[in-house]
Each structure stands twice: as structure tokens, then as C-alpha cells.
Chain A
Amino acid sequence: MKHDPTQVSASPGDASWDPIPTDPSHRAYVTMLFNRHRLALQRYLMRLVPPDDAAELVQESYYRLLRHGEMVRIDAMARSFLFQTATNLARDHHRRRASHRAALHVPIEDEEISEDHLGPDEQLAGEQTRALLERAIAELPQDTRTVFLLHRFRELTYPQIADVMSLSARTVARKMAEAIERLSAAVSGAT
């Protein structure tokens, strides 16, 4: 379902525009979550798309969460879901832009893009960021890298990784933190 783009300026909490039947408690939770993380989200999106598009994607993320139905009401997890949703929307947006430039248009499906099947047009990372990130992953200590790869790309949970690698779940969490710390250092300068 697509919303009318002319309505994008409606602000969160604005009950005058609400085509989505929403459970009031879900709506209240999403609005609270959104108000708490809105600035961070906007800042984050501005590193991925031009500023005007970022503002639009912030709104779109809010509506997407409203439509999503129930979500885990633990702030840290909900925030991570919010950022993931926003990133997917940014990819979608990027792809739309790219396909406008192509001579033949690829029809844009309404479903969210799965990150498993990213085409060249949906990449948000610039050449330099990709190179830095790729090198940072390759240079992770081997165990740390394996933990990261299995969690990121094979969707194994910490206990599953612990089992495969004969480590404790605690060690897996510590290695994940180490991996993320190093990779975040690699992208920290990226806009």
C-alpha cells in the first residue's frame, strides 16, 4: 500500500491524516519511540541520502512502523528495528532514483527489499566506504570475523554460533562487540 505523497508532510501524532486503522496503544508506543529517536534517525539518514530525501524518509519510516502492527516494546530493540526499516526505505528510494535514469523502468514492488538480493542500484555505500568496510572485515581477527559473518550473513543466533565454534555465548557477544567496534571505526568518517 502506498500513501499519497502529497500527504507526507503530516506530522507524527497528527490524527487528521490516518488512513491506517491502528491500535491506539501501538500508535502511542510508535509515536513515543519516534519522538525519542527522530533526531538520531534524521542524522543517520542524512549520511545515506540527500538532506531533503532524509526528511521525507523519516516520515515514511514512521508510517511504516505504524502499519507494521505489534513490535517488541523494548526501546533498544525497537530502535534497531526503526533504523533497519529506515535503511530499507532508503535503499528502495535509491533504487527508484536509479531506475528513473534507466531507459526501461523496472517496476518497483511494494514489498520491502530483501538485503539478500541487492542489485548494483540499491547500494547506499559509496565506493570508498565499501572499500574501507571490506578491508576492516578482512582484517578482523579470525574468530571475531567468523562470529560476525555467521551472525550478519547467515543469521545464526549467538547460542548457535557458540555451538558451532565451541565458545560460550558470552564470548560470542564479546566478539560481536569487538567486530562492530572496529567496523564502526571504519565507517565513522563516512557521510
Chain B
Amino acid sequence: MSLPRGDLKAADWFAQVRSGEMDPDSEQSWLRWIKDDAHQRSLEDCELAWELAAELRNTPTLAALLAGADSLTARRRAAAARRTWRAPAWQLGIAASFIAVGAIAWLFLKGPATTEYRTAVGEQHTVLLPDGSSVVLNTDSLMRVALSKHLRHIELLRGEALFSVSHDPGRPFEVHALQGITTAVGTQFDVEITRAGAAVSVLEGTVTVGGGAAGTSAPAVAVAAGSGVGYTQEGAVSDLRPAEVNRIEGWRTQRMVFNDIPLASALEEYNRYTRTPIVLSSPALGSRRINGVFHIGDEAAFLSALDVGLHLKAAKGDAQTVLKPEAGYSP
């Protein structure tokens, strides 16, 4: 960069250092510049902004903005793929994630066919849709996507997904799960299929949730950011309740956040991510409370915390792990 060196501000220096283009000459100018205490202080502000920005990665606002930036790289990648089969190494990672979820990339380029995405137990994947929306699929999930001119039709058949919907008033974004439909124009929300039905949490914007089955006469419910609803297998919608913000932020960062909940609920959540579930030797143990943050998939850490905190010993079998009270600590 050939800016006049004497006039470089802290932000310019910061940007130049990040470019990786520092030679011994520019180092000398830098060393003179940094001697000034005011320069030092403004550089510290730059460093602070850079480091703290990292912590916003999973906020709804940043996720939406990132989805926008990603759609740009995805479009560019698709254009490059049409021109030539060779792709720079940095693009291969993005390409690989498409292949990993089983999507056949050229279907995107050929028309509004239905594309299927699935994740295995313990797996998570981010899917970039051609309309600029992005979907993060949680463990053991199955989703079908069909984008047409007037409708973005998503079917969640199993599991859970976090949707960051790009704004397009002319093309509603509909998520069908069981007998319910969540409709958005541009927003971020999570849909989870549970044993009892489905749960919707809205992180940004507003969606409507309604029963999709014929004969359901109840009007759709509007759900705003910070709120959520549940609906039954049959599509009967519950009252509004708080969105499950902590749980969703947790799974997005490969963590389970348990905040004073019954052990039975914690195990239900834990078992979503593993093929060898953890079960209790007696249902009565399930009412004990548990606190903590755990990495998804880190069974050893989870079991050791249960041992130390709740005095439960694990007996590992091929199909499941059974938790029993430690001798001397009765339930």
C-alpha cells in the first residue's frame, strides 16, 4: 500500500498489518509512529474493536449480516464453477460443505427442483440458499427446499433448524413442520421438532405460525422477536412464551447450556447428539437439578461432571450408558 507514511492513522496501520504486507521499510515507519502515546492509544481502540467484534458472531444481527456476505461469496463461487472446474483452495471448503450435506449443487443452477439436506446424529451444517438465506441444520435433521418465483417452500421433516431469511416481501419463506407452518418475509427463527410437536423461537423480526392441515380454522399467530410458540402434532398452537435464546445460541456454538434444569430434561437434550444415549437407572434421579455448559459430543466431560456434582456413576454398554447413584449417596 503506498499511502504517504507520515499521514497513516491507527486504523490505516491496523488494516495494513492485517494485509500481511509489511516489509522492513514499513516496519521502520511503524516503529517511529508507535512511539507517540496518542497513536498507541488509538491503536488499542482498533485492537479492542477487532477482538470484541468476534464475540458478536452469533447475535441475530450479525448472523443476518453474515448470511448476506456469504450469499455474495456463494454467488461468486457458483459463477466461478460455471466458468471452470478449478477453484481456489479457499473456496473448496465452502464447496465441500455443500457436498457433505448431500446436496447436488447443479440442481441449484438448473431450476426450482427440490433439494434435500440431511445431517447425521451429532452433526451440524450450514446451508446457503440461492436466495441469500441461510439455514443451520442441527443434529439428526432432514430438510427439503424448493425455491420458486413466488414462494420459498421449506419442509422440515426431522430435527431442528435455525433460519436466517433474506428479506423478500414478494416471496414468503414458509417452513412446514408436522401440521404447522411458520411464515416469514425476512427474519431469523428456529424450528425444532420434538416428541410432543414442534417449537418455534423467533430471534429477529416477526413470523406467523398457523396450523396447515385442512379443517384447522384457528387464525395464524404472529410471533415477534424474543417470543416463541409450540404446536402439537395436529397443529394446535400454544400461547406465546419466551424464545429459547440460550439453548439456540448454545447449539449454534456446539454447546449445551443447562441452567438449573431437571437432569431428565438435560439428558433428553444430550441424547439428541449421540448414538449411545445416557439413561438413568431409576426415573426418580431425573428430578435432580443440573447447571453447566458442556461441549456437544464431549461425553467424558459430561459424565465426569455428573460424577463430581451429582455422585452418579456411569456404566457404559454397547447400546447405552446407564447412570447409577454412587454407593452411599441414595437418590
Give the B-binding residues of A (Cβ under 8 A). 40, 43-44, 47, 74-77, 80, 83-84, 87, 99, 102-107, 115-125, 129-130, 133-134, 137-138, 145-146, 149-154, 156-158, 160, 163-165, 169-170, 173-174, 176-178, 180-181, 183-188, 190
Contact = CB atoms under 8 A, between A and B. Distances in A.
B66 A149 contact: yes
B73 A164 contact: yes
A144 to B, nearest CB: 11
A121 B295 CA distance: 13
Interface residues of B, number: 71
Interface of B: 1, 9-20, 22, 24, 26-27, 30-31, 34, 40-59, 61-62, 65-66, 68-70, 72-73, 76, 88, 90, 246, 249-250, 253-255, 257, 260, 290-294, 301, 304-305, 308-310
A104 B49 contact: no
A133 B49 contact: yes
Contacts, number: 200
Contact of B17 (A77, A105, A124, A151): A77
A-B pairs, top 7 by smallest CB distance, nearest first, are A181-B11, A177-B15, A183-B49, A184-B45, A104-B309, A104-B292, A176-B15
A139 B22 CA distance: 30
B31 A75 contact: yes
A130 B253 CA distance: 18
Given A104-B309, A106-B294, A117-B255, A125 B55 contact: yes
A65 to B, nearest CB: 16
Contacts of A157: 20
Given A117-B253, A130-B55, A138 B65 contact: yes
B19 A119 contact: no
Contacts of B17: 76-77, 80
Contacts of A158: 18-20
A152 B54 contact: yes
A180 B50 contact: yes
A102 B291 contact: yes
B90 to A, nearest CB: 6
